[in-house]
């Protein structure tokens, strides 16, 4: 429960203290008095943003402080953030400097605005035309329907969610096994093909290097043969008209023979010439021997070696980086295949279990849909009863449940519908005005009140008056029996039902307009409601009417207390 708020330097509020009580608190005041600033202060405490231009006094910071009395559940949630409580009380402060920098404190500890917002959403729920997006959200519409269904629907939802979660887990397991099976089959196919290709080619260790050496040698064979034939032609020309080197050297030897006896040096020269002749014959014999060894099969050997080398290169490109790597892979592939063969998991068994889970989930989803349809009829009935008293008797509220993709929340799309007299139903997001949405929210809160937190209504009485305004006041008073309710209102019929009446007003001090907030005692409540009725605070008939309103409201509240 919100206990108090203190505001410093916010807009035209230099200082204000707002005490809150259990039950219904109303904020009243002239248009432009500053009621919006009070809501801005509350939003600040809930972690919302604010413009630095709202800091009114240069050199001073905007400060808003609030105090809440928490129940045990929310106390544990708050303490988990590191904040401290004092006798169950939570103190929250938000400070904003002139340059827009903001600091948030909760339970004496510095907090981020997002943490403050998370806790704030559990402390206060604001219903105004700017917050009506909540009622427009299909997910929140479904959650509201489920909340109205109570324990029975909640248990059915939990049963479905358990079935859905189990189906999702089995489905994921099935897909994982299926993906693994496909991957395993691809790997098995690869390894089997590797073993088959290596086995068929049967390459030997270092065979690629041996083949390359052989190819290099055989590729140069023709060049060597041509060179040797030319060399042989030089030593022993095939043309008889060409003198061979041997013939010419022998002629040299014959020329030197007559002078052998003249000097021993000519004998030595003659012997040297004979050695040359002998070496030429030996050279020619060696060349002939090499030529004879070069048979016609050499070219075939070259082609065979090149073809074999290409087959090995193709194998290496397909399976590895070199022949040694491929041979090692093929050697290891046998053990890998044996391991993969043992991993086989039959998908058929899992498919049977998956189908069983799917049927259980669908059965639970159908039960949930059936219960939601029944609950939707009941909720529509009670909402229409409330709306009739809120000035919307010519409109009919209904809930349509359409099939949707199955999610953790079920297989239903929940749509809140509204039909004006003489027109077909349409989603409230498309047809309801701002004032109508506010009253639908009030009706929802009346039937869904959970008994914790603070509900704030802004402009809930927009566009109504007379008897409808009285009914709104009664329903707010009724709602305030279960939760703390704060209402910003222009209607005296609503203000009359307050347990705590706060007046927002402006005064001019030192040529500056300032906004103040005052908790009204009984006599001043009569004056304020008189102003709201007639615009004149000193009207005797207005004061009489105001007293009558207050007495009527108090009698109604007394009946609520005696007949809760």
Summarize pLDDT for 130-178 with one digit per residue, the tens: 555 567 788 888 988 998 898 999 999 999 999 999 999 999 888 877 8
pLDDT at 177: 79
pLDDT at 295: 61
H or E stretch at 495: helix 492-495
Share of the chain above pLDDT 70, in %: 93
* Angle between helix 264-293 and 245-256 (nearest 10): 170
Indicate whether 483 pLDDT > 60.
Answer: yes
In whole numbers, what is the pLDDT of the chain averaged over residues?
85
Per-residue three-class SS string for 43-54? HHHCCCCCCHHH
Length of the chain measured in residues: 564
Judged by average pLDDT, the poorest of 60-69, 380-389, 504-513 is 504-513
pLDDT at 265: 83
Indicate whether 115 pLDDT > 70.
Answer: yes
pLDDT at 22: 92
pLDDT at 87: 87
Distance of CA 37 to the CA centre of its chain: 36
Indicate whether 397 pLDDT > 90.
Answer: yes
Q: Compare 446 and 195 and report the one with higher pLDDT.
A: 195
Q: d(Cα 347, Cα 159) in Å, to the nearest integer?
A: 27
Query: What are the pLDDT digits (tens) for 9-52?
Result: 888 888 999 999 999 999 998 888 888 888 889 989 988 877 65
pLDDT at 54: 59
Range 347-365 average pLDDT: 90
Assign 400 a pLDDT band (cuts: 50, 70, 90): very high
Can you say whether the dihedral through the CA atoms of 42, 45, 48, 49 is positive or negative?
positive
pLDDT at 461: 67
Q: Compare 462 and 442 and report the one with higher pLDDT.
A: 442
pLDDT at 407: 94
Share of the chain above pLDDT 90, in %: 30
**Is residue 119 within 8 Å of 78, Cβ to Cβ?**
yes
Assign 410 a pLDDT band (cuts: 50, 70, 90): very high
Q: d(Cα 251, Cα 15) in Å, to the nearest integer?
A: 140
pLDDT at 387: 87
Q: What is the largest CA-CA distance in the chain?
A: 178
pLDDT at 555: 93
Cβ atoms < 10 Å from Cβ of 462: 18
Residues facing 504 on adjacent strands: 517
pLDDT at 367: 96
Cα pseudo-dihedral 33, 35, 40, 45, rounded to 10: 130
Indicate whether 442 pLDDT > 80.
Answer: no
Q: d(Cα 239, Cα 518) in Å, to the nearest integer?
A: 139
Strand order across the 395-407 sheet: 395-407, 410-420, 426-427
426-458 core/surface letters (b: 16 or more CB in 10 A; e: else):
eebbebbeebbbbbbbbbbbbbebeeebbbbbb
Assign 53 a pLDDT band (cuts: 50, 70, 90): low
Q: Compare 498 and 99 and report the one with higher pLDDT.
A: 498
pLDDT at 133: 58
């Amino acid at each position: 429960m919100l206990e108090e708020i203190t505001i410093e330097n916010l807009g035209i509020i230099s200082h204000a203290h707002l005490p809150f009580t259990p039950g219904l608190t109303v904020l009243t005041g002239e248009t432009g008095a500053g009621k919006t600033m009070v809501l801005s202060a509350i939003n600040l405490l809930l972690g919302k943003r604010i413009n630095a231009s709202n800091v009114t006094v240069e050199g001073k910071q905007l400060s808003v402080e609030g105090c809440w009395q928490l129940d045990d559940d929310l106390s544990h949630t708050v303490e988990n953030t590191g904040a401290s409580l004092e006798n169950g009380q939570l103190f929250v402060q938000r400070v904003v400097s002139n340059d827009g920098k903001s600091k948030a404190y909760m339970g004496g500890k510095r907090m981020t605005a997002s943490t403050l917002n998370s806790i704030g959403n559990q402390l206060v729920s604001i219903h105004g035309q700017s917050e009506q997006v909540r009622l427009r959200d299909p997910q929140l519409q479904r959650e509201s329907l489920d909340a109205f269904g109570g324990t029975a629907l909640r248990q059915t939802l939990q049963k479905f969610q358990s079935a859905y979660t189990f189906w999702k887990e089995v489905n994921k397991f099935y897909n994982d096994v299926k993906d693994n099976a496909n991957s395993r089959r691809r790997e098995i196919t690869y390894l089997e093909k590797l073993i088959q290709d290596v086995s068929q080619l049967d390459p030997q260790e270092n065979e690629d290097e041996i083949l390359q050496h052989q190819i290099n040698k055989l590729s140069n064979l023709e060049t060597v043969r041509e060179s040797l034939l030319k060399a042989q032609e030089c030593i022993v020309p095939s043309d008889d008209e060409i003198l061979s080197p041997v013939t010419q050297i022998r002629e040299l030897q014959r020329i030197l023979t007559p002078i052998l006896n003249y000097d021993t040096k000519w004998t030595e020269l003659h012997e040297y010439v004979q050695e040359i002749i002998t070496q030429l014959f030996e050279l020619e014999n060696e060349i002939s021997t090499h030529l004879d060894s070069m048979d016609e099969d050499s070219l075939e050997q070259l082609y065979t070696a090149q073809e074999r080398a290409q087959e090995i290169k193709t194998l290496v490109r397909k399976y590895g980086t070199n022949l040694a790597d491929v041979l090692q892979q093929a050697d290891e592939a046998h053990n890998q295949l044996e391991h993969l063969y043992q991993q086989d998991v039959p998908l058929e068994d899992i498919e049977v279990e998956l189908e069983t889970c799917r049927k259980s989930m669908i059965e639970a989803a159908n039960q949930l849909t059936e219960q939601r349809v029944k609950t939707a009829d009941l909720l529509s009935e009670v909402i229409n009863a409330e709306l009739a008293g809120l000035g919307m008797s010519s409109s009919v509220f209904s809930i349509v449940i359409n099939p949707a993709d199955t999610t953790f929340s079920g297989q239903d799309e929940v749509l809140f519908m509204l039909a004006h007299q003489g027109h077909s139903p349409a989603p409230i997001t498309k047809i309801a005005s701002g004032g109508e949405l506010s009253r639908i929210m009030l009706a929802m809160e009346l039937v869904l009140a959970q008994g914790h937190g603070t509900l704030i209504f802004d402009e809930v009485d927009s566009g109504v008056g007379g008897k409808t305004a009285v009914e709104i006041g009664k329903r707010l008073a009724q709602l305030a029996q279960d939760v703390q309710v704060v209402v910003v209102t222009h209607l005296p019929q609503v203000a009359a039902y307050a347990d705590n009446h706060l007046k927002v007003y402006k005064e001019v001090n030192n040529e500056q307009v300032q906004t103040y907030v005052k908790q009204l005692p009984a006599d001043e409540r009569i004056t304020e409601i008189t102003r709201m009725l007639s615009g004149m605070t000193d009207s005797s008939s207005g004061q009489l009417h105001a007293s009558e309103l207050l007495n009527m409201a108090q009698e109604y509240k007394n009946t609520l207390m005696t007949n809760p």
